Amino acid sequence: MMDVLANLWLGLGVSVEPMNLVYCFLGALIGTLIGVLPGLGPTATVALLLPITFYLPPVGALIMLAGIFYGAQYGGSTTAILVKLPGESSSVMTCLDGNAMARQGRGGVALATAALSSLFAGCATTLVIALAGPPLAGMALAFGPSEYVALMLVGLIGAVTLAHGSVVKAVAMILVGLLLSMVGTDVNSGQMRFTFDIPQLYDGLDFVPLAMGLFGLADIIINLEETEGRGIDPSPVHRLWPSLQDFKDAWPAAVRGTALGALLGILPGGGATLSAFSSYALEKKVARDPSAFGKGAIQGVAGPEAANNAGAQASFIPMLSLGIPSNAVMALMVGAMMIHGITPGPQIMTKQPDLFWGMIASMLVGNVMLVVLNLPLIGLWVRLLRVPYAYLFPAILVFCCIGTYSLKNDVFDVLLMAGFGVFGYVLKKLECEPAPLLLGFVLGPLLEENLSRAMLLSQGDLTVFVTRPISAGLMAVAVGLLALILLPAFRRQREVAFKE
């Protein structure tokens, strides 16, 4: 425990350096600003703002990206409460009771409850990351190629289990992501794969045009279609601070949501969405009067908001300790780390402790900043929602193009981003979730590399995946998840749950 406190103290020293505080503040502010815009959730926001961090020092870049992430997470709850438009999927549950509270003139109380629940969950989960990270990293040092292959299979199958909608579509998205990751030069044979004699593809597809196209441009097109370029008329905000009775009703839900979110956030494919849905279901089960939910129950705001923030931050544990992203945003974080020449995994903690602990401690600082920053600015966010989207989207579009072009100063990347934007729009129309595709794209090269190593070391013996204890255990988990997916009852229940 003393080691954890010493490490957190080291991290706090890094995170309160003047420039890192500025990066944390800017990340939280910009993330909230864009997260408030309906439809642009954390994944799209991080994808859009990734180019900002290219020219920052690695520690500052990751602190800023983490701030953008939980800032956008908080911004999504603002639109969910005020206009019943969730900024992203994890805010869907907040819509139900948050907007009902807003219609009753208690929108300010709902927003303050969301902010304070998120603050509690963020601080508690930061301590969980500090406690769970080192043991996981120590375990990861025992991992060889076969263990990493098994772990990535668990991650990919987990993404299918927890993705929205059809199982077949989720599997298809992962396979498309794996295929896109194979574009370029094969490192083993030196042969060109899927390049169609286009020189810009010889080094493979770049992460940034793909992410910005699938999540940024596609969301812009969808939003234009849904809003027709108009602004939104949000509910009025009156009293801001919750009453003593509100606190009594909300805090048990926030504690339960935090515990549930921290547990589920570590799961591959999990994170904020699964945590929020599970928390709402739990609160409804333990409530004395379940019929109050959907009509302005404050527990329906506190629980899911604490759970989605805890789930979002807990997903950093496998990403930092094992180098395996558990959801689309963590895949973007892995991409950002690789752009800065950092290989995520157990070595970070020993070789770059300033970066690891500085990023974790910055979450404490950033969550406090979010509350201090956002509660006074609620009036500004309300006015921002009234700005016609027809004026906002050209600015976002220009930013996307500049960010992508600055990657290599090549127009081809901008065209690639536009192509993926259209592709992302088609996927959304077909109700195919692009998040598993991004996971497949990020994990594809790592999976191929470790599979090649495992086969080379075992001289082509496939039993290596079941004869080593850790890889055998992970393979058993993967088979269990696969069996769960194939159960008709589970498939029906899962699809009905996400439709609701």
- Spatial contact of 108 and 237, defined as CB atoms under 8 Å apart: yes
Residues 130 and 124: their CA atoms lie apart, in Å, by 10
Measured between its terminal Cα atoms, the distance across the chain in Å is 43
Q: Is 193 helix (H, G, I), strand (E, B) or coil?
A: strand
Quick one: tokens of 116? 């304070």
The burial class, CB within 10 Å (0-12 / 13-18 / 19+), for 430 is exposed
Q: Is the dihedral of CA 468, 469, 474, 480 positive or negative?
A: positive
Residues 298 and 287: their CA atoms lie apart, in Å, by 11
CA distances from 150 to 141, 146, 464 (A): 15, 6, 11
Q: Is 260 helix (H, G, I), strand (E, B) or coil?
A: helix
Ranges of H-type helices in 199-271? 207-211, 218-227, 244-265
Angle of helix 58-83 relative to helix 299-314, nearest 10 degrees? 160
Q: Residues with Cβ < 8 Å from 329, sequence gap 6 or more?
A: 42, 43, 46, 69, 271, 312, 315
Query: What is 303-366 written as a DSSP string?
Result: HHHHHHHHHHHHTHHHHHHHS--SSHHHHHHHHHHHHTT---STHHHHH-HHHHHHHHHHHHHH
The burial class, CB within 10 Å (0-12 / 13-18 / 19+), for 110 is buried
- Spatial contact of 344 and 326, defined as CB atoms under 8 Å apart: no
Quick one: tokens of 302? 């506190």
Residues 482 and 161: their CA atoms lie apart, in Å, by 8
Q: What was the pLDDT predicted at 498?
A: 47
- Listed residue (90, 61, 71, 78) closest to 114, CA to CA: 78
Residues 265 and 282: their CA atoms lie apart, in Å, by 16
- Spatial contact of 118 and 445, defined as CB atoms under 8 Å apart: no
Q: What was the pLDDT predicted at 41?
A: 64
CA distances from 127 to 258, 260, 277 (A): 12, 15, 23
Rg (CA), the chain: 22
Q: Residues with Cβ < 8 Å from 118, sequence gap 6 or more?
A: 70, 73, 74, 77, 305, 306, 309, 367, 370, 371
What is the 8-class DSSP label of residue 194?
S
Q: What was the pLDDT predicted at 423?
A: 93
- Spatial contact of 137 and 130, defined as CB atoms under 8 Å apart: no
Global pTM value:
0.66
Residues 300 and 102: their CA atoms lie apart, in Å, by 13
Quick one: tokens of 374? 């956002």
Residues 367 and 305: their CA atoms lie apart, in Å, by 13
pLDDT along the chain (500 residues), means of 10: 72 85 87 70 74 82 84 76 64 75 78 85 82 67 77 76 71 89 79 83 80 77 72 59 82 89 69 71 80 82 86 78 72 79 73 80 83 73 66 74 75 89 89 79 81 84 84 85 70 52
Quick one: tokens of 422? 């259209």
φ, ψ of residue 37 in degrees (nearest 5):
-65, 125
φ, ψ of residue 219 in degrees (nearest 5):
-65, -35
- Spatial contact of 433 and 269, defined as CB atoms under 8 Å apart: no
